[in-house]
């Protein structure tokens, strides 16, 4: 059996960040874990997004000033894993995912202010493409460029970002549930799926991207 050489096996590299979920025994254990994470973050002056629920602690590590994942995030992720192991708390990166809503449009600038107002989030430019983002990390809504045309029956689609290790399982489950694989041309960056009524969704990963 080959040795696992993944330097961060507890973490899922998703769009704009490292994500994971720690399974805690109860709320008190989760609060103690968050407190320990906070102390470690303060020590290096690099602060994650932490979500505490009964039985789980979700973590997002992302360098807002750099617009992506940096060595600061990787070092803190490794430290968080150590803290969790010391408490016999396991990480479940496969449970982490990011869902984005994509809207086909020939003129994103025309409609972006409307969606910004409706969603209460800022319009941000991502290398020439407009997105509506919360907290500067995950996109609530992004605009997919398309040629001008009569409005088709489906203009919205879901982008579901998963750990690259989980992508095949998601695809197989969707097909087994009555869906079909429309295209794998851009795999492993993304696969296009459709349900039985031909509504599309994409399973996306950070693999194969620059």
CA distance 37 to 45: 12
**pTM for this prediction:** 0.79
DSSP label of 94: G
CA distance 159 to 12: 16
CA distance 43 to 37: 10
Query: Please, are residues 58 and 93 in contact by the beta-carbon 8 Å criterion?
Result: no
Q: Note the Cα 106 to chain centre separation in Å.
A: 26
pLDDT per residue of the chain (210 residues) written in tens, 0 to 9: 444 567 899 999 997 799 999 999 999 999 999 999 999 999 999 999 999 999 999 999 999 888 789 999 999 999 999 999 999 999 999 999 888 888 888 888 888 888 887 676 788 887 778 888 766 556 678 888 888 777 666 778 888 899 999 999 999 999 999 899 999 999 999 999 998 878 788 999 999 887
């Amino acid at each position: 059996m080959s040795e696992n050489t993944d330097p961060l096996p507890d973490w899922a590299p998703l769009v704009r960040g490292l994500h994971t979920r720690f399974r805690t025994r109860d709320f008190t254990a989760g609060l103690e874990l968050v407190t320990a994470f906070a102390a470690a973050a303060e020590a290096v002056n690099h602060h994650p997004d932490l979500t505490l629920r009964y039985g789980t602690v979700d973590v997002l590590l992302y360098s807002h000033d750099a617009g992506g994942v940096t060595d600061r995030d990787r070092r803190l992720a490794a430290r968080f894993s150590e803290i969790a192991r010391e408490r016999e708390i396991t990480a479940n990166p496969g449970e982490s995912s990011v869902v984005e809503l994509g809207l086909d449009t020939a003129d994103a600038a025309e409609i972006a202010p409307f969606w910004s107002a409706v969603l209460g989030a800022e319009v941000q430019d991502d290398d020439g493409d407009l997105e509506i983002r919360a907290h500067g990390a995950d996109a609530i809504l992004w605009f997919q460029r398309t040629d001008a045309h009569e409005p088709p029956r489906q203009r919205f689609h879901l982008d579901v970002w998963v750990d690259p290790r989980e992508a095949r399982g998601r695809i197989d489950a969707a097909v087994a549930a009555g869906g079909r694989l429309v295209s794998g041309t851009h795999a492993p960056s993304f696969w296009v799926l459709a349900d039985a009524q031909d509504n599309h969704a994409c399973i996306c990963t950070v693999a194969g991207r620059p």
